[in-house]
C-alpha cells in the first residue's frame, strides 16, 4: 500500500479540522465548508449547513455567532495550516535554494490536499467582516513575507537573479494557490508529483541565467 | 495622457461585451457579471440582476432563458476573448521563444484587464449545464493545447527543456488565471508590467539550463 493511498487526500483534509471542538462544532464546520465550496458563501444558508450536518437550525448558533463566523473559522484555520506547512522550511538560516524548494513543495502539497478548504479560504475573503479579514490578512502577509525573504536571501547569496522580488513571490504563490481552482483527487498528477514539479519550476523562476 | 489612462481597465473590460445586442441584453449581462463576481452565481437571483440593470424582473427572460443561460453567455464570451487574445501569437510557425513570450504576455494582460469576467468564468464553471459546459470546455482545451504546442515546438527546436509539458503548460496558465483572484485596478503593478514580468518568468520555466 502506497503512502498516497494510506493517507488519501480526504483523510489528510479531514485532519485539518481535528482541533475544532466539540464534535458538533466540527461537523457544522465541515458541512459549511462543503456547501461554501459548492454554492458559495452567499448561496448557502445557515439552515442548509445545519441540515447537512443533520442538526437543527438553532444548533448552529450554539457554536457560531453567525454564518460569517463559521466562514472565519474555516478561513483562519486553513490559512494558519498553510503557514504552518511552510514554517519548518522557512524558519532560520540555511541554503536559500534548498529552503525555497522545500517551501514551494510543502505549499503546493498543502493546496492539493486541501483544495476544498483553500478554495473557500481564498475565494470568500470578501465575505469576511473587517475584524476577521484583518486576522486572516496578517497570516497571508506572513506567508508572502516568508517567500520574499527566501528570494531576497538567495539574491544576496548570488544564487538567484530576480528583477522584482514581491511580484515574483506572488507568482510563485499563484502556482500553488491556483490548485484550489483546478485540482481534483484523481487529477493526472498526485499532490506529491505536483509538489516536485512546482518546486523545480519555482527554482527556475528565480535562478540566474534565465 | 498615457495609453494606460486612455484605455483604462474599465473601458477595456466594457468593450468585451460590445457584441451583445440589443443594449438591454448587454445591460443585463453586465449586471449579472457584477453580482456573480460579488456574491457568486448561487447567491444571486434573476430579480437582483434585473434590479441592478434597472429593469423589471420579467424583462430578463426576454433575453435569457434562465440565470444559467446568462452565466453561459458571460463564460463563453470571456473564454473566446481570452483565446482570441493569444491567437495572433500562437498561430502559424515562428520562433517558439518569441511566440510563448508574446502569448503569455497577451494572456496575462487579458486576465488583468478582465479580472472580473475571468473570475466569474473560472470560478462558476460548475454552475454551467452540461451542454454549456462542453462548449466552454472546448475553448479551454484549445487554449491549453496552444500552450502545449508552443512548449513542444521549443523543446523540438532545442530551446526549451521541459520534463512534463502538460503540467508545465497548466502552471504557466495558472500565473495569468490567478490574477482573477488577486488583481485589482490600483494593484502595485499595471497589467502591462505584469505581462512583461510573467512572460519572462514563463520563459525561465521552460528554458534549458535551470
Query: CA of A27 to nearest chain B CA: how many angstroms apart?
Result: 23
- Least confident among A28-32, A149-153, B77-81, B91-95: B91-95
Give the residue from B170, B173, B195 with the most A CB atoms within 10 Å of its CB, the best one to mutate.
B170
- Beta carbons of B178 and B72 less than 8 angstroms apart: no
Q: In the prediction, which pLDDT does B8 show?
A: 41
Which residues have CB under 8 Å from B192's CB, separation 6+? B4, B109
Q: Which residues of B touch A (CB under 8 A)?
A: 38-44, 122-123, 126, 163-164, 166-168, 170-171, 174-175, 177-178, 181-182, 188-189, 193-194, 197-198, 200-201, 203-205, 207, 209-210
Indicate the SS3 state at residue A19. Answer: coil
Q: Which three cell numbers stand for residue A154?
A: 538567495
CA distance A86 to A177: 14
- The backbone torsions φ and ψ at residue A136, rounded to the nearest 5 degrees and listed phi first, read -70, -40
For residue A189, list chain B residues with Cβ-Cβ distance below 8 A: 164, 167
For residue A196, list chain B residues with Cβ-Cβ distance below 8 A: none
For residue A144, list chain B residues with Cβ-Cβ distance below 8 A: none
Total number of residues shown for chain B: 210
Q: In the prediction, which pLDDT does B56 show?
A: 94
For residue B199, list chain A residues with Cβ-Cβ distance below 8 A: none
Please name the residue of chain B whose CA is at the shortest distance from the CA of residue A188.
B167
- Beta carbons of B180 and B118 less than 8 angstroms apart: yes
Q: Which residues of A touch B (CB under 8 A)?
A: 38-44, 122-123, 126, 163-164, 166-168, 170-171, 174-175, 177-178, 181-182, 188-189, 193-194, 197-198, 200-201, 203-205, 207, 209-210
- Beta carbons of B179 and B194 less than 8 angstroms apart: yes
- Beta carbons of B110 and B82 less than 8 angstroms apart: yes
Indicate the SS3 state at residue A160. Answer: strand
Q: In the prediction, which pLDDT does A10 show?
A: 54
Q: In the prediction, which pLDDT does B14 show?
A: 77
- Does B40 sit within 8 Å of A197, measured CB to CB? no
* Other C-beta atoms lying within 10 Å of the C-beta of residue A65: 10
Q: Which three cell numbers stand for residue B171?
A: 502552471
Which residues have CB under 8 Å from A103's CB, separation 6+? A86, A89, A90, A146, A147, A150
Average pLDDT of span B73-91: 94
Q: In the prediction, which pLDDT does B58 show?
A: 94
For residue B197, list chain A residues with Cβ-Cβ distance below 8 A: 163-164, 167-168, 171
Q: Which residue has the cell 458559495?
A: A40
Give the residue from A164, A199, A208 with the most B CB atoms within 10 Å of its CB, the best one to mutate.
A164
Taking alpha carbons only, the member of A90, A143, A86, A89 closest to residue A109 is A86
- Does A41 sit within 8 Å of B167, measured CB to CB? no
Of B210 and B115, more confident: B115
pLDDT, one tens digit for every residue, chain A (210 residues): 233 333 344 577 779 999 999 999 999 999 999 999 999 999 999 999 999 999 999 999 999 999 999 999 999 999 999 999 999 888 777 899 999 999 999 999 999 999 999 999 999 999 999 999 999 999 999 999 999 999 999 999 999 999 999 999 999 999 999 999 999 998 899 999 999 999 999 999 999 764
pTM for the whole structure? 0.93
Q: In the prediction, which pLDDT does A78 show?
A: 98
Q: In the prediction, which pLDDT does A45 show?
A: 97
CA distance B156 to A121: 41
- Beta carbons of A155 and A165 less than 8 angstroms apart: yes
- Beta carbons of A120 and A49 less than 8 angstroms apart: no
- Does A38 sit within 8 Å of B41, measured CB to CB? no
CA distances, B174 to each of A64, A82, A85, A198, B201 (Å): 35, 19, 21, 11, 12
Total number of residues shown for chain A: 210
CA distances, A136 to each of A73, A133, A210 (Å): 10, 5, 35
For residue A41, list chain B residues with Cβ-Cβ distance below 8 A: 40, 43
CA distances, B102 to each of B176, B192, B200 (Å): 13, 12, 10
B43: nearest CB among A43, A167, A209: A43
Task: Express as a percent the part of chain B with pLDDT over 90.
Answer: 87
Q: What is the pLDDT of residues B174-204, one digit of tens each?
A: 999 999 999 999 889 999 999 999 999 999 9
For residue A181, list chain B residues with Cβ-Cβ distance below 8 A: 122-123, 177-178
- pLDDT at residue B107 greater than cutoff 90: yes
Q: Which three cell numbers stand for residue A99?
A: 529552503
Q: What is the pLDDT of residues B125-159, one digit of tens each?
A: 999 999 999 999 999 999 999 999 999 999 999 99
CA distance A172 to B15: 31
CA distance B178 to B118: 9
What is the band of B10 on the pLDDT scale with cuts at 50, 70, 90?
low
Amino acid at each position: 500500500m502506497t503512502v498516497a493511498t494510506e493517507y488519501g487526500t480526504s483523510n489528510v483534509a479531514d485532519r485539518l479540522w481535528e482541533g475544532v471542538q466539540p464534535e458538533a462544532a466540527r461537523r457544522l464546520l465541515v458541512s459549511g465548508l462543503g456547501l461554501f465550496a459548492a454554492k458559495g458563501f452567499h448561496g448557502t444558508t445557515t439552515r442548509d449547513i445545519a441540515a447537512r450536518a443533520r442538526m437543527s437550525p438553532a444548533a448552529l448558533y450554539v457554536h457560531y455567532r453567525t454564518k460569517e463566523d463559521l466562514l472565519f473559522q474555516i478561513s483562519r484555520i486553513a490559512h494558519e495550516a498553510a503557514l504552518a506547512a511552510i514554517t519548518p522550511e522557512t524558519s532560520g538560516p540555511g541554503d536559500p535554494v534548498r529552503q525555497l524548494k522545500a517551501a514551494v513543495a510543502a505549499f503546493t502539497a498543502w493546496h492539493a490536499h486541501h483544495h476544498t478548504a483553500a478554495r473557500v479560504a481564498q475565494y470568500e475573503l470578501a465575505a469576511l467582516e473587517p475584524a476577521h479579514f484583518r486576522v486572516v490578512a496578517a497570516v497571508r502577509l506572513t506567508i508572502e513575507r516568508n517567500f520574499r525573504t527566501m528570494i531576497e536571501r538567495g539574491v544576496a547569496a548570488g544564487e538567484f537573479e530576480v528583477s522584482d522580488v514581491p511580484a515574483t513571490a506572488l507568482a510563485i504563490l499563484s502556482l500553488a494557490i491556483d490548485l484550489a481552482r483546478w485540482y481534483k483527487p484523481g487529477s493526472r498528477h498526485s499532490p506529491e508529483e505536483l509538489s516536485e514539479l512546482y518546486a523545480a519550476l519555482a527554482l527556475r523562476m528565480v535562478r540566474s541565467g534565465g
